[in-house]
Amino acid sequence: MKGRQILIDHLGDRMAAALLVDGQLDDLLIDPPETRARPGAIYRAIVDRPMKGQGGRILRLPEGSTGFLRDTKGLADGDRLLVQVTGYAEPGKAVPVTARILFKSRYCIVTPGALGRNVSRAIRDDEARVRLHDIAHEAELNESFGLILRSVAEHADSDDVADDIAETAALAQAVCADQDSTDAELLLDGPTPDLLAWRDWGDIAAHDVITEAGCFAAHGILETIADLRKIAVPLSGGGSFFVEPTRALVAVDVNTGADTSPAAGLKANIGAAKALPRALRLRGLGGQITIDFAPMPKKDRRQVEQALRAAFRSDPIETALVGWTPLGHFELQRKRERLPLPESL
């Protein structure tokens, strides 16, 4: 089927959302176990001990859990502050958090402590920018809040955008004003997969959002998930690449397969570069990524790197392309926004 579809179903007892693009699974969100904090959750935290050598502090969170905050200038033991979960912790480590709180919705982001009313730079149409600037400056906000209108607002109805701003600003005001307790407390849970799908996967017609139980099985999602447990990712030209998580990093190995032509290495490497963001996204992999590309002349590295940059430009997860190592590998650093697929399942 051509076009985009959203499927909402359950994998075991956990909610999940799948994005299909032209009939192929393009993204997959699975609710984490109850013991893991969802990214986006907002806590009132208590400042605890400093982490020497790491430039941050441990924070006390509810139920005996801990968070790690890097920017702790001016904080002292016992101080209270609001923090937001930014991703998943590595096993045995504190949850990564930030004191720069964002309230993100479909059309807008409300930014306490970061003033200004702005429109996404991705919106280039002058008429749309003027319309959205007017909506932003007419919105009633707390004087300490800023506002960003997201790119999806470009084609949205003005009243819908204004309503979304009002609802998000009211939520931000309620959470930031909650100072009644001195204990660590969860003030706002992170978004569930269905809310993330509504928020981040763009405008999709209502008839293309399927919520019936068993829709994953009916659309082949379960078979695709089974394939994602395998380390091999086939390429259309006959080659393949292998994605293998280790404790220290994620290793990616590109092979040309049966193709022995002079251009086989370059062809497989470009194919792997284009397919890698989806492979990492669906497997929930982040952290340090090291790619061992198939053999190719050094003069072809620029072309492969350009393919990598183009592929990751549209990927929703923050990824830094670090560059080539002396051994000829390519390194990436990817935000841990999701749990690895085996842990999610």
Which residues of the chain does CATH 2.40.50.140 include?
42-98
Which residues of the chain does CATH 3.40.630 include?
229-344
- The CATH architecture annotation of domain 229-344 reads 3-Layer(aba) Sandwich (3.40)
CATH T-level fold of 103-191 = Ribosomal Protein S5; domain 2 (3.30.230)
Homologous superfamily (CATH) of 42-98 is Nucleic acid-binding proteins (2.40.50.140)
The tokens describing 159, both together, are 């009243």
Residue type, 72: T
| SS3 per residue for 138-206 | HCCCCCCEEEEECHHHHHCCHHHHHHHHHHHHHHHHHHHCCCCCCCCEEEECCCCHHHHHHHHCCCCCH
This model's pTM is above 0.85: yes
Q: Going residue by residue through the chain (345 aa), what tens digit of pLDDT does each one get? A: 788 999 999 998 999 999 999 999 999 999 999 888 899 999 999 998 888 767 789 999 998 899 999 877 878 888 899 999 999 987 778 999 999 999 999 999 999 999 999 999 999 999 999 999 999 999 999 999 999 999 999 999 999 999 999 999 999 999 998 776 778 899 999 999 999 999 999 878 888 999 999 999 999 999 999 999 999 999 987 889 999 999 889 999 999 988 778 888 999 999 999 999 999 999 999 999 999 999 999 999 999 999 999 999 989 999 999 999 999 999 999 999 999 999 888
